[in-house]
Structure 1
Amino acid sequence: MTVSIRNIQPKFQPPQRGGFLISEPYLNDYHFRRTVVLVSDHSDAGAVGFVLNRLIDLQTDDVIPGLMKYNFPLFFGGPVEPNTLHFIHKVGELITGAHHIANGIYWGGDIEMIDDLIDKKIASKDEFRFFSGYSGWAAGQLEEEIEQKAWWVSNGNVKRVFDDDLENMWRVIVKDLGRNFSHMADAPEDRSWN
């Protein structure tokens, strides 16, 4: 019996702030192939998120020299406004203007406070993740893409947001979806290799 990827889908759940969008294994959009996107905001107006498993070969100081004392690795957040800098963190309201995403994960705030928090050992560098650009969807667009099975939705485990094993993040989170998905985590990069 052959099982099509298109027929596999977790019980439908709408994406929620703090949840993950997991691209199906053969998504044709190179921006999102085998990616995990953290949904940082979702409403009737649309959705915003950041790709968690695409590190780019730049540091924050490469894009905005002198912005901060500390330099951070830069991730590809998504194809929207690639010249903008965004960050998520675990230090909460210690950063003025931070927006709560879910379960101890925050988005943005006063970037100038980061150096001071690290200097005073209130925070560490590994509690921050910086992104070039973001992933964005207009009203109804994300739901349509989910219906077309481009994305699997997981509204669980935000502990994985700061995982360091970027190469295996997609695979691990697909396995987190449950037994029906575990075989998909090891699907070959090219469908014809099956």
Structure 2
Amino acid sequence: MSQNEKIKPKAGDLLISEPFLQDENFVRSVVLLCEHNEEGSFGLVFNKLSILKLGELVEELEFLENEVFVGGPVEQNTLHYIYLGEKALDRSIQIGQELWWGGDYEQLVEKLKTGLIDPEKVRFFIGYSGWGLNQLEEELEENTWIVCREEVDLQTFEYTPEELWRKLLKNMGGEFKVMANYPLDPRLN
């Protein structure tokens, strides 16, 4: 029985890619699981920057310099967002203690324009990561992902994309702390 069989994933969990995963979309990635149910799973890669700034994608927010992350390889023509704090948008889905996914886009734009939402507490993603029925469970059994229950907070937002993967593994301790130092290529070990 693998480590991951003990932990059943749920919305709000972080999925940490195993150290030697070679899929270019998920090398050393951390995926925020937004939805996990009997139909499949939906997540956003939390630590893969795109080359775009929010103002380049959304004309109404051209004054913002927020970085945009690549949420995953699926539908990269879509924009997704999460935010920290109290519920600020209609139709937002709570996925953590103070973590919200999506919500009314027009409200988001207006509240960012008027300063009612701090742009530093919002993260934007193009595309998403998706798993079909039982696909994520199969990948967990193959040890492709490590389920992390660390709460996403402002500190999580502040880690650089390069350090987030390592920091989360180190925080988990034990064998995971050791994994955090594995080289990308096991032949270099």
Moved more, 138-147 or 71-80: 71-80
Counterpart-to-counterpart distance in 2, 1:145 and 1:78: 16
Q: TM-score, normalised by structure 2?
A: 0.90
Instruction: Give the letter aligned to residue 185 of structure 2.
Output: D
Correspondence for 1:183: 178
Q: Are 1:56 and 1:75, in contact at CA under 8 Å, matched by a contact in 2? A: yes
In structure 1, the partner of 2:70 is: 76
Match of 1:155 among 146, 149, 157: 149
Aligned length: 187
Counterpart of 1:98 (choices 72, 92, 97) is 92
From 18, 24, 27, the counterpart of 2:18 = 24
Contact 2:60 2:109 in 1 (8 A): no
* Residue in 1 that maps onto 2:49: 55
- Contact residue 49 and residue 68 of structure 2 kept, 8 A: yes
Distance 2:9 2:35 in 1: 10
Supply the distance in 1 between the matched residues of 2:67 and 2:78 (Cα, whole angstroms).
15
Report Cα offsets for 1:33-54 as digits up to 9, x if no partner: 1000000111111110101111
Rate the CA distance shift 1:166–1:33 in 2: closer, same or farther, 3 A. Answer: same
* Structure-2 separation of matches of 1:8 and 1:178: 17
Q: Is the 8 A contact 2:41 2:136 kept in 1?
A: yes
Q: How far does the alpha carbon of each residue in 1:75-100 deviate from its partner, in whole angstroms, 9 at most, with x for none?
A: 00001111111000124432122111
Question: Which residue is equivalent to 1:127?
Answer: 121
1:119 is displaced (CA, Å) by 4.5
Q: Does residue 184 of structure 2 align to residue 192 of structure 1?
A: no
Whether 1:110 aligns to 2:104 is: yes
State yes or no: 1:42 paired with 2:56: no
Contact 2:79-2:125 within 8 A present in 1 as well: yes
Q: Does structure 1 conserve the Cα–Cα contact (< 8 Å) formed by 2:54 and 2:62?
A: no
Q: Report sequence identity in percent.
A: 36
Query: Is the CA contact (8 Å cut-off) linking 1:97 and 1:108 kept in structure 2?
Result: yes
Unaligned runs of 5+ in 2: none
Structure 1-normalised TM-score? 0.88
Where does residue 171 of structure 1 map in the other structure?
166
Task: Give the residue type in structure 1 aligned to 2:172.
Answer: L
Distance in 2 between residues matched to 1:83 and 1:185, nearest whole Å = 33
With 29-38 and 152-161 compared, the bigger mean Cα shift is at 152-161
Partner SS state of residue 32, structure 1? coil
d(CA) in 1 for partners of 2:82, 2:156:
9
Q: Quote how far apart the aligned CAs of 1:70 are.
A: 4.0
